Amino acid sequence: MSQDFAGRTVIVTGAAHGFGRAIAAAFAARGARVWACDRQAEGLAETAPLLGPNGAVRTVDITDRAAVQALVAEAEAASADGAVDVLVNNAGGVLGQVGRPIEEIDAAAWQSIFDVNLSGAFWCAQAVAPGMKRRGGGRIVNISSGAGLGVSLTGIQAYASAKAGQIGLTRQLAHELGAWGITVNNVAPGFVRSNPTTERQWEAMGEAGQARLLGAIALHRLGTVDDIAAAVLFFASESAGWISGQVLSVDGGK
């Protein structure tokens, strides 16, 4: 199975750490010109050396539609055929929120999680779609969560809802864009200790909670960021050319 992305233009959002950094580095290692973006400039500076001489990092807030359009225009202008080949919508998260009873959730807390996890993915897909249509193909890979297929371990209602919405968006866009040879798929990771937020969640579980989590996984171990990157590379590869609208749970087996 070939995973050579030489000459391909790839955008990875949320690339300052964790999944995004691993995904961006994996594409770069396989020859892609990677545009890694995040709103955390300090983390992006650590990602940059992993992208090689053809990589680029940009500080972008994906909830800002105009900023997303500008990033895509820059990437397209630098591309040989004026289009982005692969978009990975990885940016998201809980934005520092913790689980609270439903009656305590205000409008700002609810909306902010939807903005980054769902609306941001939509803005990015909207921005790359015209170029992909002109070129006659492309790959969009969304990073959802096991929370989008079940319930959130954090108990954050907006996070589970937004990630479920992203899965619905994946299926809808797959049907809308398929006529132009554009595939749209979704990777739903299980719990991975990939960033400061998940580290805090892991510690908060305590030994008993950690044991329960591991016991519920068929392989009895946590995954790694490279496990998630491998699934993204598959969906972006030629081997997945007739796969679209699908959700792949990468969770060690539930």
The pLDDT value recorded for residue 194 is: 87
Catalytic annotation, residues = 159
Alpha helices in 136-195 (DSSP H): 157-177
Structure tokens at 65: 């539609």
Q: Find the helix or strand (DSSP H, E) in which 47 lies.
A: helix 41-47
The CATH number fitting domain 9-194+224-242, selected from 3.40.50.620, 3.40.50.720, 2.60.40.10, 3.30.70.360:
3.40.50.720
Q: Which residues face 35 on adjacent strands?
A: 11, 56
pLDDT single digits (tens) 132-152 = 999 999 999 999 998 899 888
- The domain ranges of the chain are 9-194+224-242
Would you call 121 helix, strand, or coil by DSSP? helix
Per-run averaged pLDDT (10 residues), the chain, 254 residues:
88 97 98 98 98 96 98 97 97 90 96 97 98 98 92 89 97 98 97 87 90 93 96 97 98 92
Q: Which residues face 57 on adjacent strands?
A: 36
Q: What CA–CA distance (Å, rounded) separates 22 from 27?
A: 9
